[in-house]
Amino acid sequence: MTVSASYHFDEFVSKLLADTVVAAKNIKDARIKSMTLCRIALHYARFEQQNQALDILFQALNTAKDIKQSGNQVKAMGELAGICLFEPALQNQVDEILTQALQVAQNIGSSQERDLALAEIAFRYASAEESARAMQVLDLVGESSTKNYAKSCFDRSLIDYYIDLGKHDRAIELISESETICSDDKLAMLTSISVDSADLEQFELVDRALTQAMQILFNLNDCREKVLYLAEIAEGYSLIGYRDRAIQILMQALDAIKNIQEENTEDRAYMLAKIADGFALAGQPDYALQIAETIENTEPALYWKVDALDKIAGAYVEAGQIERANAALFEAFELANSMPNPNQQKAYSLIQMAEKSVKSSRIDRVAELLSQAFEITQSLKHSKEKYETQLSIVFWYKEAVLYDRALEIAIHIEDRSSRNKALNLLASSYIDAGKLEDAVQLLETIDDPVYRCEPYSKIAAKHTKSGQIKQGLEMFAKAVAIAKSIKNRRERQLGLIQVITSYMNNCECSYIVEIVEIVKTIKNASLETYLLTRIVYFYNQSGQETKVIYLYPQIVPKIERMKDSPAKTSFMAGIYSGYAKAGQYNQALDFVRKIKHPETKVQALLDIVDIYAAVNSH
């Protein structure tokens, strides 16, 4: 659990925390009021004011007891216990809170509601590393099907809790030990953990999760599900480089298919395709091809066969076996002729091959493949699918750094919107590569301001960042002007937001006055407020709060006139946090005192306390 820093408790902090208690007492919803008071108690504890912390925690507990429905009462008390775990000085109160929750739970009339309340309490004990106590509480659950349901709720809550904490090893243990979670759900949890762990390069955890999944599969009776899970587990092993293990598992999947009695052609084709994909991913395209050849050449099995052949062709490309890749692709083409939209499928197959060629650094193959794909798309009827395919072709030319060919394709796309998207994509690539003049020339060929404004903002940021301030501000003004010219109101607003956000994201700019003056040309009060507040946010986040303080008097009245909403709350947080981070606490508090919503006011006061404490900690 979190360990507190040592904070100095002075008159300023004392006054602010007292104000939070007053504000919290105006919250009408008992559960929210209870949670809020508990968070205030947490703050008192962090300032080593144990008596006040316990007094406020006692008030929070009494407030939770005011909740009318007993099940919700227990849940709220459980949440209080959970909050206390984050502060060492309050952890010894967890048992007292849960003991009182247990008294409430045991008096609940409905057996199902009572058992779920007991599961909640058990979960909270387990979260506090009190496993024995958790089991004692679970033993109180009635002898019925409800017992399993309550235990299942407990197990799932605890597994989710450990996953959220990043303790995947504990989650895997709990999944394997659970007697109430069904095999399907266990397998889904374990494969999900393996994916998360692979992303974090925690390969030992991936192996543990997949090994546990394999053990569960032994008891699975549904052969179809077994085959598909085996293929998924094999994929997980291939992705972390355990190819030999993946191949062993895929062989088991092939054996399992033999036990499937019913003749469902599509189902069988799907399973065989998944296994073939697995062998291709594991670096065995020859064996994958043998399996794919066993899939029938009739609809609907045909779709899965073509898809498998595409992936096998890609695996051959990665292995440098270009002739075999071409042969697999040719076979996929021949089969595609029997499909309802053969040319669309052929273009898709070629693009997949090009993608593999780019990723394998075989750039010489990319132009040939994509050129064929584009020729095929030219024969297609006007459709969304046609233009999305052509956009993909431009994208992979770009990824291969074949910009001239990408541009040639982009300008020949017939659909206006798709053409502009393609040109926008290329312009962004030019900007990223530092080819700003080429990007500007390209942007001038786009005839829709929606696709021009943000790239100009990125160019402006590049100029500013390199010290070309005048050029940067001129380009930024141009980006704003282009966005303002968008006719559709909603698209215009989004364009302006993109321009500001992109510029601030790409450039740590010191020219706040000039930027603000450009924004003020928008002549839209609510949008101007939003954009100025975004600017304030960026400066606050980068530790440059003092540079935007002068804007606050202009923004605050507009924010105060807004209706209550998450956006308004976010805007207000930016203002009072900015004042506080700049050391102007009186101004921050003057603003907070105007906040009417009690929960928002409490949060604001606690935020200011945290900012003050961080500056004055020792």
Structure tokens at 454: 């943000």
8 A C-beta contact, residue 527 and residue 490: no
Closest CA to 284 of 310, 232, 326, 246: 246
* Dist. CA 182–CA 178, nearest whole Å: 9
In this prediction, residue 150 has a pLDDT band, given cuts at 50, 70 and 90, of confident
Residue 4 confidence (pLDDT) = 47
Quickly list DSSP for 206-268.
Answer: HHHHHHHHHHHHTT---HHHHHHHHHHHHHHHHHTT-HHHHHHHHHHHHHHHTT--S--HHHH
Mean pLDDT of 151-161: 86
Spatial separation of the C-alpha atoms in residues 455 and 440, rounded to whole Å: 9
Query: Is pLDDT above 90 for 465?
Result: no
The residue type found at 252 is: Q
Domain ranges of the chain: 448-523, 532-618
Which pLDDT belongs to residue 161? 86
Most confidently predicted of 97-106, 135-144, 331-340: 97-106
Residue type, 549: I
Residues 541-557 have pLDDT tens digits of 777 777 788 888 888 88
- Match 């504000």 to its residue by tokens: 23
The conformational region for residue 467 under phi > 0 = left, psi -120 to 50 = alpha, else beta, is left
Question: In the predicted model, is pLDDT for residue 66 greater than 70?
Answer: yes
Cα–Cα distance measured from residue 247 to residue 56, given in angstroms and rounded to the nearest whole number? 60
Measured CA angle at 266 (ends 260, 271), to 5 deg: 55
Cβ atoms of residues 188 and 216 within 8 Å: no
**Residue 171: which of 196, 198, 144 has the closest Cα?**
196
Burial class (CB in 10 A: 0-12, 13-18, 19+), 379: exposed
- What's the pLDDT score for residue 423? 95
Q: List the one residue out of 604, 607, 610, 599 whose CA is nearest residue 23.
A: 599
**Token duo for residue 58:** 């006692």
Residue from 90, 79, 102 nearest 52 by CA: 90
Span 64-79, mean pLDDT?
A: 93
Give residue for tokens 């058990």: 122
Cβ contact 220:182 at 8 Å: no
- pLDDT, average across residues 160-165: 86
Residue 569 confidence class, pLDDT cut points 50, 70, 90? confident
Q: What is the pLDDT of residue 493?
A: 85
pLDDT tens for 16-58 read 999 999 999 999 999 999 999 999 999 999 999 999 999 999 9
Q: Is pLDDT of 2 > 60?
A: no
State residue 3's pLDDT score: 38
Which residues have C-beta within 8 Å of that of residue 481, sequence separation ≥ 6? none
Question: Which of the four pLDDT bands, split at 50, 70 and 90, describes residue 357?
Answer: confident
Residues in the chain: 618
pTM of the model as a whole? 0.72
Residue 417 carries which side chain, given as an amino acid letter? S
| Residue at token pair 């040639």 | 408
Residue 2's Cβ-count burial label (10 Å; 0-12, 13-18, 19+) is: exposed
DSSP 563: P
